[in-house]
Structures are given as structure tokens and as C-alpha cells.
A and B are shown apart, each in its own frame.
Chain A
Amino acid sequence: MKPAAFTYHRARSVSGAVGLLAELGDDAKVIAGGQSLVAMMNFRLARPEHLIDIARIPGLDTIVREGDALRVGALVTHHAVETADLGPDFRVLSEAMRWVGHLPIRTRGTVGGSIAHADATAEWCLLAVLLDARIVVEGPAGRRSIPAEEFFQGVFTTALEPDELIVEVEFPRPAPRATLTEFAERQGDFAIVAAAVDPDAPRVVLGGVAQVPLRVPAAEAVLAAGVAVAEVGEAAAAAIDVRDEPGASAHYRRALTRTLVTRACEEARTR
């Protein structure tokens, strides 16, 4: 389990990284914390010929509150968010970090890396959709900002162009009552199903039931109606389209969805 050979590049600026990406094309891969990428490289499931290390680009590791919005730099680690004092408005971000792998993963793994990797059960992907985040990316033509719902396109597939780099994730509005919960057999594992709710938006977002983090408008409507939380869970379970897969049947995923959405709503109501 040793990775294939590659050439290592260290970017000193966003424009430098973008320039390298443009020059090296599909043979290059960006590495920040590398907590998913290096594991895949050790299995030789990923074998980039060039690695562009962006970890030392200055200015991408800050968390800034600007009015209602919270701007989280791409290089901010999960652990930095976990231990940051984000106030009541964005406490869901800090709280959700306990579900991200384990401490030694969280100390290196980054927000931008997690979003770019786009695992449909990853907490950052759910949070981004839940909170209507905008993914700020920079390419040769400059910066653009992509709504999270449009950013995630499929299994490990995003709207990011090969020569673009995520620089920041912008959470535009406070979500003091938002919550996230999930279920896995073992602590730290990727969830079988993850559920996040924000009663104020309202938003209901699920991980593990689709190729992307999935908003469930039918459940959001029920949530907005302010009825019993179990009905929100019921609506979410009814709305999803899941298939039997090894390890979890459609029926089970639906049941987990019902349970987790209900529990997330219960927790939100206590706030």
C-alpha cells in the first residue's frame, strides 16, 4: 500500500495553484490535508502524476464573521471549526465536527478538501446545502461563487472545473437552531444515513440516500408547518428514492431517515 510516484509542487498563492492546475491538467491533483486523497493514493485508487500542495497558501485558513455571514477559508481544518467560538448563530458547524472521522483526521482534514471530495455523506457537504452556503472558487478567469446545491453534481462529482480551486465557503445566514445527526455502527465511520435540519429556513438535508447531499422539500414543508416532529421524519422517509444495497436495504435507509430527521428536529426544538 505505497502510492505510485508523483511530482510534488508547493503552491504559494491561489493564482500560483491555479496556474499549475491549468498547466498540468487532469494529471494534477490538489492536496490540502490529504485525509481522503492520501488513503486513496496508498491503495493506488488515485494516482495523480502531480500533487499541488496548497496548504501553505496564506489567507485561506481564517474564519471571518461578516454581518450575517460566516466565511470559512478552504484550509480551515475540521478541528479548528470544532474548537472555534462561532457563537450561537453557527454552533451547528462546531457541533457537527464530532461526526467527522476522529481527532487526528480532523486536525489535518480541511473544509475545502471535504467539499471538493464531495462524499455524499460528508458532514461539510450536508452543512453546505443545509445552510445555503456558496462555494467560492478561483480559476484562471477569476473568482466565482457557486450555490452548494448546484455545486454537488453526483458521486464525487462537482461543478469545480479542473483548473479551479476552492478558496472559501460562505455561509450567508445564521442558523442558531440547525442540527445534524447521523448513524453508523462505529464511531467515526461514514454515516449510513445522516440528517441535518434547520427549522428556521426551513431545510431538511440528508446524506447517504442519494448521490449528493439531498434536500427534501416535502419534509421542509412539513417542518415549516410546525406540526409534530415525527411527521417531518415521516415526510422525509416517504420522499426519498432509495434502492437496496449491500449493507442497507432501501427500507432500512428509509427507517433511518425517519428516525434521524425526527431526532434532529427534536434537538432543534430544544433550542
Chain B
Amino acid sequence: MTREPRFDRTGRWVGASVPRREDPRLLAGRGRFVDDIALPRMLHAQFVRSTIAHGRIVAVDLGEVRAVPGVVAAFTAADLALGDITALLDRPPHEFVPTAMPVLALEKVRYVGEPVAIVVATDPYAAEDGVEAAVVEYEDLDPVVTDTAALADGAPLVHAEAPRNTLVDVSLFATEGIDDVFAQAPCVVRVRTKTGRQNALPLETRGVVAAWDDRDEQLHVQTNTQVPHQVRTVLAGCVGLHEKQVRVTVPDMGGGFGQKCVVGREEIATAAAALRLRRPVKWIEDRRDALTAAFLAREQRYDVRAAFDAEGRILGLDADVVCDMGAYSCYPFTAGIEPLMASAEMPSVYQVPAYRVRGRAVTTNKAPTAPYRGVSRPQYVMVVERLMERAARELGIDPVEIRRRNLITVFPYTGVNRITYDPGSYRESLDLCEQVLHDEGWYDVRARAVREGRVIGIGYSCFSERTGYGSGAFAQRKMQVVPGFDISEIRMDVSGTVSVTTGTMSHGQSHETTMAQIVADRLGLDIARIKIVQGDTDRITYGWGSFASRSITIGGSAVAAASGKLGEQLREIAAHLLDADVDATELDGDGGVRLRDDPARRLSFAELADVAYLRAHLLPKGIGPGLTASASFDVAGDGTFSNATHGVVVELDPGTGGVQILRYVCVEDCGVAIHPQVVEGQCRGGIAQGIAGALFEQVTYDDAGQPLAPSLMEYKVPTAAEIPDVAIHHLETPCAFTANGAKGAGEGGTIGAPAAVLNAVNDALRDTGVELDDTPIARETVHRALESALENAHV
């Protein structure tokens, strides 16, 4: 292994935008998504869901349901007697209150859409007829609909065990003397903001097909999850099976973005119904349920002050963060996911000498939350970037210049948050982004706009994104279930082709291609001869799935390590057969092993595999038959930080409040890009979701906790008409400890976009005296700001 270079740029695969292995089947309509699966005698499930936000269940009458033609069965929580889903943190009671999420609501309902009973029928139409026939009697309880209501004195309690509706209350950092810092600082700015609740909204909704297999003595659950092994663990526990009696496999997935990286109640209930009925049962979430009852995210309130010296250097950051996590903690992350992320990482890309933070998770009578692409970072980056702009304005410093004065430039840098940041291009990305917008003439456009009666602004965001959280980093969050490592197993068959397992779970990120590229370079084998195996708990020892931009950094490193071990085996066998020292051999980059000093003497992998399997008597002593290897990878330190600067030009329409993005520039650095086109795709897609959060999407409720956005008419996912083209520029600061120098690239776009858009809008509003800090930005709010400025101008 010591002969391996730190990161491999000599191979022909890594760094090349090769055609995606996934494309042909997906383009031909020959993929296999969960709803494409049909099994003999399969039944279809739908759920009776709570119609009120908060209440006690008095009675559930499914008699009429069972009489509906086509309905085969209907079960309540009591009928199925399932265990709860409970996610835990190792934190004291004043910091964390554990709460259980029953698979089906048992005594209380805590949000509109909460599953109360499962109806199983011969087709989905009949299942829905059955759901309509259910009679559930509730005793209404006062709903808690907002974070402020949750924290109010005398508020009704969503969970009796959680006083003040607080599930998490942590104060991770409090630099000594920080109050003095603020008292003496020449400039203190403050941002108070509320960010809208969002839905990650994978275009494919959640779904599962579960069937008991008598031959395998297994419950086979095909589900579109980002975390197959975690589903297996929870499911086995809930239904009382050993884990070997449960097999979770994942078909093609139509996106996830975090919504599918937690264990869903419906997938457990559907599997339980299949087990009970001994017939296959399918559940496909419909869009209304996906909008109202699936896991949501992002509703946060920040009150943050920043102290600056007269030259614009930041002296301290003092933050209070409240995250509205809805009705339940998600498994395995808990309701701590958002406040802990914000608390740990808020100092962002800046040299912040003093830091105090309190982070809270409150529970409300709204659908529960899960991690969503970026997890708190889109929000706190927005807050920190607003603070920078505000201080710049107050101190009369250029907003780009004030960032320059504060960016971390010497690496590794250990922050006030005790995180060590590995090398990045924070300063370089900002400089380049600004230069691009200058060179393209946008500053001239902005200057001319005033004369032309146009309203144009330019905004930036600088950020980094921790990717590749290892077990140590997650342990610091004090999760009781600690993700981090990944294991890969590689197997070469008789013909010299390989299959490689990964514990990560692609749901659109192209792992079948990018992981194969990594293997290809490690073994010197064409990617056509490499198969990536993912999403099967029977074939993969253990995996943590895909989230937190961990797949290429950790999964890719494990895959590389396993490939390297197999390469060693191949060289040992070849050395023996060629009668040479192992050290005299090398992989030839073309599917074979040769002698370094006599390249003509070569054995192909097929020839070596032939010996390993079919003529094992020829193998060297000490090497058994077969060609397999396995390796694991974990990150020992604090992970690796991707970084980027986004620059945005917007134009506002004073007549309507309309916001149009004229230009979007992204300068990103995710280390070595395995597949640059895929990296750009991740950037653009992430940016689109970030713009969506800044300008379009919001899950809203009325005072009774009834969802006000039950369709895509109200929940405004932006289209090609709203999302601009994005110019991407790449910088490359290789990571020192991942196999290929790669850093994660899955979330950055989403993280940077809201701040840049908000800053651009505020720059456009610079002469109005109005500053907008909440998202999504309502067009009416923009209109009012411009209108009031016009009125003032006329006075």
C-alpha cells in the first residue's frame, strides 16, 4: 500500500467525464424504480392519516374499510403491535429529551397526515377507497404550530416528556470574555431571520415493496432509501425478526436529498403488513402525502450578533438558533440534526476568535423533519454572509474586501469551534468569482442600471462544506448510532472482471460510474469490466448509505483501498507465475500485470483469475484460491472541507416585486473531481434547490396546523424558466487523506445559493433603507421595499 500515491492522477479514468453507466437504461425507460416492481399476488397499501394537527385518538373504526370492495385488510397500531422508532443522543436530559415515534399513531396524533392505520387492497384505487371509509374519532388538543408558540409559557405539550416543547437544548461554545468583546467592539451588527420550512421533494416519492420469502426465510424489503442497513436494523427491531431474516434492497432511486436518509414509518408498516398477510405489499407515497406528511426541513430562526473592529475584522459571533423540527425525532439523526450542525459549524470560512452559541430543537404539531441537502448550512451561511454585508455597509468597506480580511487563509486552521479545516481555496475562489463578474461587465451593468431606472444588485456568498464526516466527527455530535466508516469488498471472477461493493447508496449521484472510475484506475481495468454493487444488505457487510456528501470521500476511499488490496494479490500471483519478485511487477493499466523491467512478460487478469479459480494448484504457497479483498475506510480527523464562492446578479421589477437572476457564477473547489461533469451537475442541481429555498418554496400551515401547500400549485418548485444557467469555474485543492484527493460535492450548491441570492437582492435594495433577511423572499415584500423607496424619493 505504501507504493500507492496519495492521490492518483496518472490513471486514465479519474478526472474524465466518461459516459455514465446509469444512462442507457434510464434513458430507455428501462430503469427499475420501486413502483416498477410487480410481484405475484401483490397488494397495495395506503394510510389512514390524521386530519387534525394535535389530538387524542378516541376510537379507530375500520369496519367499513374492510367492507370496501378490493380491500383485503386494515390494521391499526394495536393490530400490528409494532415497536417504536426511537433515535437517541448520548446527552444529559437537560440537553436532549428522547421521544418515540410509533410506526402508527397509538394514543395521540401530532400532525396532519400522521399515519393512523394501514389499508391493504388489491389495487391502489381500492386502497384509497378503503382509506376514505375509515372512521377515526379524535379528542382535539390545542395545536402548537410555530416555534414561538412552542416555547411560550403554558404552551400545550406535543410530547408530555418534553417540557417547553424542547427536544434539544445545547450550548456547545461560549468563549470566555465574549460579552466584553461585544461591549468594546466598534461595530456590532445583528441578523434576525426566519427561514421557511421546505420539502426536499425528490421527484420520486417514497415507496416500498415488501414480501416474505419462504425459501429464503426472509422478509425482502425493496425500498427507495438512502440508508438500507439502518432500515434493516429498525425494521427487524420493530417487527421482532433477526436481522438475517430481513433483506433490504434498493432499486433505482429518483432522488432523495436527505428525505430518504431516515427510516420512514410507512416502510416499516408496509413491511409489517406483508409479514402478517404473507403476501407482497407495495406502498407508493402519493404527492399530496409527500407534500404534507413526509419528512420536511429547514424551518429555523436565528438571532445572531457579530462584533467587528474598525477595519472590518470579525471579533466575535454570538448566536441563538431555534429549529422547528416538527412532531418527531428522525432515526438515526434525532431532532438534534439541525441545531447541532448549525452550532458546530457556524463560524464558517472566517477567522472568528470568539464564539457563543445556543442551539435548540423544538417540537411542533407539524410533519417531522429529516436532514435535507446542506442541513442548516444554507441557513447559517446566509446569516453569516448577511452579517458580513451588513458590517461592510456600516463600516464603509467593500463587501468583497471585508470577506477577504476575514477568510481563513492559512491551513490547517483550527477554529474557535475546535474544528480543524484542511486546506481549501477560500480566498482564491472569492477573488476569481469577483473577477469573473467584473470581466463579464456586471459591475458596469449595475452602475448603469441606476441611470436607466433599473434595479440591479450583485451578491456573494463564501462558504465551506465539511464532507466526509468520519465516525469521530459524528461521535462529537453524540449520536448514539454513529455513522462514519465504509466497507468495500471486491471480487474478481474467472473472466477477470470485478464486482465491488460499496456501503454508500447512489440516488442520482452516478456512483455506478464514479466508483467504477476509482476502481478502474486502481486496478488498471476498463470500467466496462467493473460492476458496482450497492443497496443490498445481503451482499454488503454493512454500510451507512449516502448522506453528508460522504460517498466519494469515504465510500470511494474504501473502494480504492479494496481495489488496491486485490491489485496486490494479483501481483503476488503474477510474480509467482512469472518467477519474479513481487516488487518487480506492476499493474500495466490495461487489465494485466507485467514486469516493470520487461513489460513484454505480462499476464492478463483473466489469466491470473484462471489460475486463482480453475488451476489453484498453481498458486504460490500461502495464497488461497479465489480473488477477493475487503477494506474499510474511516476519517480520523475532522473530515475534509470543500469550498466555493457564489456570485449572483439579480434584477428586481419595481412594478411587481419580481426577482430575476441575470447571472449566476459558481467557483467551486471539491478537490480532485472524479468526474467533472457529475460535479457540475451536483453544483447546478444544488444551486437550483438553494434558489428554490431563497425565492420560491415554503411549506405553510394555518393556525390550526392544517397544511396550506398540499399540491405543487402551492409548493412552488421552480422550473427552467426561473432557474438560470450557472457558470462554473473549478479550483482544485486536493484532500490529503482521501484516496483520490477528492472532497465531497453533493451539497455545496444548495448551501451557497440562498446567501448569494439574498445578498444580491439586498444589494439591489441598497438605496431603499430596507434589508430583507427572511426566506423565501416574497415578491410582495420586494415590491413594498421598492415602493416605499419611491415614495420617499418623491417626498
Q: Do any CB atoms of chain A lie under 8 A from CB atoms of chain B in the complex? A: yes
A positions within 8 Å CB-CB of B: 1-5, 43-44, 183, 185-190, 246, 248-249, 251-252, 255-256, 258-260, 262-263
Q: Tell me, rounded to whole Å, the shortest Cβ–Cβ distance linking B112 to chain A.
A: 15
Is B658 part of the contact surface with A, judged by Cβ < 8 Å? Answer: yes
B-to-A contact residues, CB < 8 Å:
124-125, 128-129, 132, 286-288, 655-658, 695-696, 700, 708, 711, 713, 716, 718-719, 721-722, 779-780, 783-784, 787
Nearest chain B CB to A66's CB is how many angstroms away? Answer: 37
Closest 3 CB pairs of A and B: A259-B655, A187-B721, A1-B286
Contact (Cβ within 8 A) A255 B288: no
For A251, the chain B residues whose CB sits under 8 A away are 784
Closest to B720 in A: A187
Contact among B128, B657, B696 for A186, CB-based, below 8 A: B696
Contact B722 A187 (CB under 8 A): yes
Partner of A246, one of B125, B656, B657, B708: B708
Q: In the assembled complex, which residues on chain B have CB atoms less than 8 Å from the CB atom of A3?
A: 125
Say how far A247's CB is from chain B's closest CB, in angstroms: 8
Bound Cα distance A259, B124 (Å): 47
Residues from chain A with Cβ under 8 Å of B779 in the complex: 185
A1 and B787 within 8 A (CB): no
B696 cross-chain contacts in A, Cβ below 8 A: 185-186
Q: Which residue of B lies closest to A3 (CB)?
A: B125
The smallest C-beta distance from A145 to any residue of chain B, in angstroms, reads 33
From the candidates A187, A259, A260, name the one contacting B719 in the complex (CB within 8 A). Answer: A187
How far apart sit A5 and B132, CA to CA, in the bound complex (Å)? 13
Cβ-neighbour of A2 out of B124, B655, B657, B783 (below 8 A): B124
Across-interface contacts of B784 in A (CB, < 8 A): 251-252
Contacting residues, chain B, for A43 (C-beta < 8 A): 288, 711
Given A2-B128, A186-B696: A255 and B721 interface contact (C-beta under 8 Å): no
A2 near B716 with CB under 8 A, answer no
The answer to whether A263 and B655 touch across the interface, beta carbons within 8 angstroms, is yes
A2-B125, A2-B128, A187-B722 known; 10 new pairs, CB 8 Å cut-off, are: A1-B128, A4-B132, A187-B719, A189-B713, A189-B716, A255-B787, A256-B655, A258-B655, A262-B655, A263-B655
Contacts of A260 in B (CB 8 A): 655-656
B656 pairs with A249, CB closer than 8 A: no
Tell me the complex Cα distance, A189–B722, Å: 12
Q: Nearest Cβ distance between residue A32 and chain B, in whole angstroms?
A: 21
Q: How far is the CB of A264 from chain B (nearest CB, A)?
A: 12
CB-nearest residue of chain B to A259: B655
Contact B780–A249 (Cβ < 8 Å): yes
CA of A11 to CA of B448 in the docked complex: distance in angstroms? 62
Closest CB of chain A to B272's CB: distance in Å?
Answer: 23
Per a CB cutoff under 8 Å, which of A5, A188, A252 touches B780?
Answer: A252
Q: A256-B656, A263-B655 are in contact. Are A190 and B713 (CB under 8 A)?
A: yes
With A2-B124, A252-B780 known as contacts, the answer to whether A185 contacts B713 (CB < 8 A) is no
Output the residue of A249, A252, A256 with the most chain B CB within 10 A.
A252
| Cα distance, A144 to B486, chains bound together (Å) | 74
Bound: A190/B714 CA distance, A: 10
The docked-state distance in angstroms from the alpha carbon of A249 to that of B781 is: 10
Q: How far is the CB of A236 from chain B (nearest CB, A)?
A: 13
Known: A186-B722, A252-B783. A44 touches B287 (CB 8 A): no
Q: Which residues on the B side are within 8 Å of A258 (C-beta)?
A: 655
Contacts of B719 in A (CB 8 A): 186-188
Q: How far is the CA of A251 from the CA of B787 in the complex (A)?
A: 11
Give the chain A neighbours of B721 by CB distance below 8 A: 186-188
Q: How far is the CB of A271 from chain B (nearest CB, A)?
A: 21
Residues from chain B with a CB closer than 8 A to the CB of A248 are 780
How many inter-chain contacts with C-beta < 8 Å in the A-B complex? Answer: 60
The reply to whether A44 and B132 form a contact with Cβ atoms under 8 Å apart is yes
Assembly CA distance A262 to B713 (angstroms):
28
The complex places the Cα of A19 from the Cα of B248 at a distance, in Å, of 56
Q: Collect the chain B residues with CB atoms within 8 Å of residue A259's CB.
A: 655-656
Minimum distance in angstroms from A181 CB to a CB of chain B: 10
Q: Pick the contact of A1 from B287, B655, B716, B718 — CB < 8 Å? A: B287
Which A residues lie within 8 Å of B700 (CB)?
Answer: 246
In the bound complex, how far is the Cα of B285 from the Cα of A1, in angstroms? 9
How far, in whole Å, are A249 and B779 apart by their CA atoms in the complex? 11
Alpha-carbon separation in the docked complex, A237 to B708 (Å) = 28
6 example contacts (A-B, Cβ-Cβ < 8 A) are as follows A185-B716, A185-B779, A186-B719, A189-B713, A246-B708, A262-B655
The CA of A29 and the CA of B784, in the complex, are separated in Å by: 43
Residues of A close to B288: CB separation below 8 A: 1, 43
**A48: min CB distance to chain B, Å:** 16
Which of chain A's residues have a CB closer than 8 A to the CB of B708?
Answer: 246
Chain A residue nearest to B44 (CB atoms) is A2
Q: Tell me, in angstroms, the Cα distance from A255 to B786 when the chains sit together.
A: 12
Chain A residues near B722: list those with CB within 8 A: 185-187
Nearest-neighbor residue (CB-CB) of B714 within chain A: A247
The reply to whether B124 and A186 contact each other, CB–CB distance below 8 Å, is: no
Please measure, in the bound complex, the distance between the C-alpha atom of A258 and the C-alpha atom of B783, giving whole angstroms: 13
Q: Across the two chains, which residue of chain A brings its CB closest to B288?
A: A1
Would you call B716 and A186 a contact (CB within 8 A)? yes
Closest to A233 in B: B655
Could you say which residues of chain B place their CB within 8 Å of the CB of A188?
A: 719, 721
| CB of B505, distance to nearest CB on chain A (Å) | 27
Q: Shortest distance in angstroms between A39's beta carbon and chain B's nearest beta carbon?
A: 8
User: Which residue, of A183, A185, A248, A262, has the highest number of chain B Cβ atoms within 10 A?
Assistant: A185
Contact residues in B for A44 (Cβ distance below 8 Å) = 128, 132
Closest CB in chain A relative to B313 CB, distance in Å: 40
Tell me, rounded to whole Å, the shortest Cβ–Cβ distance linking B126 to chain A.
Answer: 9
**Minimum distance in angstroms from B776 CB to a CB of chain A:** 9
How far is B287's CA from A260's CA once the two chains are assembled, in angstroms? Answer: 34
Q: How far is the CA of A44 from the CA of B700 in the complex (A)?
A: 22
What separation, in Å, do the CA atoms of A5 and B130 have in the docked complex?
A: 12
In whole angstroms, what is the CA distance A7 to B58 when docked? Answer: 37
Q: What is the chain A residue whose CB lies nearest that of B721?
A: A187
* Contact, CB under 8 Å: A186 / B718: yes
Chain B residues contacting A4 (CB-CB under 8 Å) are 129, 132
Which A residues are in CB contact (< 8 Å) with B695?
185
Task: With CB as the reference atom, state the residue of chain A lying closest to B659.
Answer: A185
Q: Which residues of A contact B128 (CB under 8 A)?
A: 1-2, 44
Shortest beta-carbon distance from A199 to chain B in Å: 20
Residues of chain A within 8 A of B129, CB atoms compared: 4-5
Provide the bound-state CA to CA distance between A187 and B658, in Å.
Answer: 12
| CB nearest neighbor in A for B702 | A246
A256: chain B residues at CB < 8 Å are 655-656
Q: B783 — which chain A residues lie within 8 A by C-beta?
A: 252, 255
Contact partners of B124 in chain A: CB under 8 A: 2
Alpha-carbon distance A2/B129, docked complex (angstroms): 9
Chain B's closest residue to A193 (CB) is B656
Q: How far is the CA of A104 from the CA of B718 in the complex (A)?
A: 17
- Residues from chain B with a CB closer than 8 A to the CB of A2 are 124-125, 128
Chain B nearest CB: distance from A141 CB in Å? 38
Residues of chain B within 8 A of A252, CB atoms compared: 657, 780, 783-784
A183 (CB) vs chain B CBs: closest residue: B656
| Interfacial chain B residues near A1, Cβ < 8 Å | 128, 286-288
**Bound CA span A251–B779, Å:** 13
User: What is the bound-complex CA distance between A186 and B357, given in angstroms?
Assistant: 38
Inter-chain CA distance A256–B778, complex, in Å, is 14
Query: In this complex, what residue of A is CB-closest to B290?
Result: A1
For the complex, what is the distance from the CA of A170 to the CA of B195, rounded to whole Å? 50
Give, as a whole number of angstroms, the nearest-CB distance from B330 to chain A.
25
A217 to B529 alpha-carbon distance, docked (Å): 75
Q: What's the least CB distance linking B160 to chain A, in Å?
A: 33
For B655, B708, B718, B784, the residue with the greatest tally of chain A CB atoms inside 10 Å of its CB is B655
Least CB distance from A53 to B in Å reads 19
| Assembly CA distance A7 to B700 (angstroms) | 37
Q: How far is the CA of A7 from the CA of B421 in the complex (A)?
A: 66
- Of A183, A246, A262, which one neighbours B658 at CB under 8 angstroms? A183
Give the distance in Å from the alpha carbon of A1 to the alpha carbon of B290 in the complex: 11
Complex Cα spacing A128 to B539, Å: 64
B635 → chain A, closest Cβ, in Å?
41
Q: Closest Cβ of chain B: how far from A159's Cβ, in Å?
A: 27
